[in-house]
Structure 1
Amino acid sequence: MKLIYVASPYAGDIEKNTEFARKACRYVMNEGHAFFAPHLLYPQLLNDANPDERQAGLDMGITVLEKCDELRCCGDRISSGMQAEIDLAKQLGIPIRYVSEEQILGTSDPVYAIWAKGKTDGLLAGQSGFLCENRKRLLFPSQDEAKVKIKDIRNLCLNTSPAAEYQCVDYPLEYASDRRMHLETLRELDMAPSFSPDKFEVKSQAYGNTGGGCMVGTVQFHLPELDKSVWVNCNDECVTVTSADYIWNDDHSESWERYDDVLLYQAGFDDVLPDDVEPWLPMIKKALEYTIDQETTYSKGRAFSLPTAWLPESIRKNADPEYLAWLQTEGKEAQVVCGGRIEIEKDYPQSGQSTFGMIVPS
């Protein structure tokens, strides 16, 4: 039977922390070991608010620590008193084991977290902590899940200077800390684009029914300046830009289950103007050109509706500017049919006239 020195936070919410310390001791006892918890014993005799008595308690605790087989750090936060005990245990060569609050309060299953550390040459230099999202620490039941999250975070970076480095760690182990880094802040820094909008290569194209009759065109673009790919997905209503092919899932990464983690941009064509979507505009126009060609060919007569501002240049250049201006004034969408031609509406004042690249309905 080992003698285990139990260290856990005490100051602050003393009632709550005392109850947690009791559970930590029972956790050690259930493993078949004897325990010593100075913050459960000495406050019964000494006044922690009295500096002399507090120091006497610390000194006696240290004396006992020297005789222990192991220091057990319990909980998700390292207090100043616990840090002093850790430092002494290291000096004495006493093994240190970290146990999370989750393990003590109900589960002994392994728990993993992501430790984020600001890049030394970035805005977050010197900062580090457990990665949090929506102010909640991210914990994972397996290393693989944590590593997928790290991969998704890195893939969302749109510049050559990521804000932080990430590491999957056993939780809490030597990283036990109440320090945090917030994913929202990191994303804001990482998603500031620093690539040239016109520098891209088309790597693949796909068009089809995603289910329920929703036809979508997807174009994979490689960004050489970042050495990564993005996928632009569009139909006649909206566009999404993602860091993974979540629609067709050719890489079998199940990225559709992590949509928020792979989403770079999304917008409805009725909600935004092209000038508002840099640096994605050239790629969106290219993906629209492909999608319109595929859908008008596939649908055999069905028009592709789109606000005139979003028409690709290959279609716009063959259209009548006056008709496009009329559509915009009337708040109407252009109806693009097979061959990239625009169908003229019957209520257009000049609907009886045919123009190259446009078609008058019979």
Structure 2
Amino acid sequence: MKLIYVASPYAGDIEKNTEFAKKACRHVMNEGHAFFAPHLLYPQLLNDANPDERQAGLDMGIAVLGKCDELWACGDRISSGMQAEIDLAKQLGIPICYVSEEQILGPLDPVYAIWAKAREDGPLAGQLGFLCENRRLLLFSSQSETEVRIKDLRNLCLNTSPAAVYQCVDYSVEYASDRRMHLETLQELDMIPAFTPDKFEVKSQAYGNTGGGCMVGTVQFYLPELDKSVWVNCNDECVTITSADYMWNEDHSESWERYDDVLLYQAGFDDALPDDVEPWLPMIKKALEYTIDQETRYFQGRAFSLPTAWLPESIRENADPEYLAWLQAEGKEAQVVYGSNIEMEKDYPQNGQGTFDMTVPS
């Protein structure tokens, strides 16, 4: 009897994913093995919204993974959390087995799929087939679910020439074919940005607590050249850009349940440089300007920390360039406080004390 580490989606529709995880564990048991599923065990004891308890659960899961004989990745999609577990298993030399949803649940009735046909004047001309992700056929239990995924695929296209057109089909009836097209290949072409970076319109702004004490600012930008909106979400640590409003759900799309499907870009401010994020930089700077203003109003007396390279121009242009150069040379972050002022470090060698006035002229 082997000990199997069960990896399956959890975040999003937790109730649905928990039921699937239970069935995945029963499948392991029916195959004659013992199972370990941390996402079924630890949430019963720990508060996932508490960072310390969440980390404790992750650490314990990692500790047990090293003692398992195999990792079984269950389901037809690999979530970001599952990918981290798979990567660790590879590092530890633990065999990985991919188990489809159909193997666990049995055939879906009815079954829908996405038929993809490459654009005739594009680089993949002549190619067509059922859409696959991570080398697995994408199957859906309802037509509406399939159409939502197709809509997300179209929204991820960042140019005016999509690599393929998509169609929802009855997998068992309409298209009897073993031809496949791989999502990764299509998105490599679709997600090449082709729009003017500073040509956008601000459609909405929101700031607040997304849960667990995480305060986030979100700005919706409309890109007229593509006739679509993107949402830039940031705090003092990172930025994510999505093709749907997964943070506040003002578009009523329930996109928080499919975050990986709507994600366009993400980066940590300590890990990326502004030069690396074109053509998103003007929108990120605009979203940061809004978030800094909202957060320093909300937490008066607490600074918003940000690497100097990421400071919005409305703040930077009123700053003392020598002080900003000193911060960057010392590897220090700028401390922006209420009123759009930059708080001066006490150990600044120019004997400065207090703050530089960074107020943007009205």
Q: Aligned runs of 1:251-330 on 2, under 5 Å?
A: 251-330=251-330
Distance in 2, matches of 1:171 and 1:242, equals 29
The TM-score normalised by the length of structure 1 is 0.69
Q: State the alpha-carbon separation in 2 of the partners of residues 117 and 295 from structure 1.
A: 46
Q: Are 1:319 and 1:355, in contact at CA under 8 Å, matched by a contact in 2?
A: no
Q: Output aligned runs, 1:197-236, within 5 Å.
A: 197-236=197-236
- Take 1:108 and 1:254, find their aligned partners in 2: how far apart are those partners? 23
- Listed one character per residue, the Cα deviations across residues 264-286 of structure 1 (whole Å, up to 9, x for unaligned) are 00000000110000000000000
Q: Please report how far the alpha carbon of residue 251 of structure 1 lies from its aligned counterpart in structure 2 after TM superposition.
A: 2.0
Give 1:353 shift: 5.0
- 1:134 has 2:134 as partner: yes
Contact 1:207 1:218 in 2 (8 A): yes
Q: Report the residue type matching 2:317 in the other structure.
A: K
CA distance in structure 2 between the aligned counterparts of 1:165 and 1:253, rounded to whole angstroms = 22
Asked if structure 1 preserves the Cα contact closer than 8 Å seen for 2:308 and 2:327, the reply is yes
1:199 partner amino acid: K
- Determine the structure 2 residue equivalent to 1:118: 118
Q: How far apart, in 1, do the equivalents of 2:198 and 2:174 lie?
A: 46
Q: What does the per-residue CA deviation read over 1:67-98, in whole Å, with 9 as the maximum and x for residues that have no partner?
A: xxxxxxxxxxxxxxxxxxxxxxxxxxxxxxxx
In structure 1, distance between residues paired with 2:132 and 2:184: 8
Letter in 2 for 1:139: L
- Could you give the per-residue CA deviations for residues 146-194 of structure 1, whole angstroms, max 9, x where no partner exists? 1010000000000000000000000132311111000001111000011
| Alpha-carbon offset, residue 115 of structure 1 | 0.3
Counterpart CA distance in 1 for 2:358 and 2:271 is 26
SS of 1:278's partner is coil
Superposition RMSD on alpha carbons, in Å?
1.8
The equivalent of 2:70 in structure 1 is: none
Distance 1:351 1:278 in 2: 38
Query: TM-score under structure 2 normalisation?
Result: 0.69
Cα deviation for residue 350 of structure 1 reads 1.9
Q: Is the 8 A contact 2:343 2:356 kept in 1?
A: no
Counterpart of 1:248?
A: 248
Distance 2:254 2:142 in 1: 16
Q: CA deviation at 1:313?
A: 0.5
Q: CA deviation at 1:210?
A: 0.5
d(CA) in 1 for partners of 2:332 and 2:356? Answer: 21
- Does the aligned pair in 2 maintain the 1:205–1:218 contact within 8 Å? yes
Cα offset, 1:245, TM superposition: 0.5
Counterpart mapping for 1:1-362 below 5 A: 107=107, 109-352=109-352, 356-357=356-357
Q: Deviations over 1:235-269 (max 9, x none)?
A: 00000010000000112211011011000000000
Matched-pair contact (CA < 8 Å) for 2:112–2:170? yes
Q: Displacement of 1:120 after TM fit?
A: 1.1
Separation of aligned partners in 1, 2:176 and 2:353: 76
CA distance in 2, matches of 1:344, 1:311: 15
Amino acid paired to 1:281 = L
Task: Report the secondary structure of 2:275's partner residue.
Answer: helix
Secondary structure of the residue aligned to 1:230 is strand
Distance 2:319 2:346 in 1: 16
Unaligned 5+ segments in structure 2 are 1-101
* 1:207 aligned counterpart, secondary structure: strand
For the residue of structure 1 that corresponds to 2:348, the secondary structure is coil
Residue by residue, what CA displacement relative to the aligned partner does 1:126-148 show, whole Å, maximum 9, x if unpaired? 11000000000000000011101
CA 1:298–1:354: 2 relative to 1, 3 Å: closer
2:129 maps to a residue whose letter is G
The residue aligned with 1:78 is: none
Return the alpha-carbon distance in structure 1 between the equivalents of residues 154 and 196 of structure 2.
Answer: 19
In structure 2, distance between residues paired with 1:343 and 1:173:
66
Q: Secondary structure at the match of 1:115?
A: strand
Tell me, what secondary structure is at the counterpart of 2:339? helix
Q: Which amino acid aligns with 1:109?
A: D
Q: 2-side partners of 1:330 and 1:238: how far apart?
A: 21
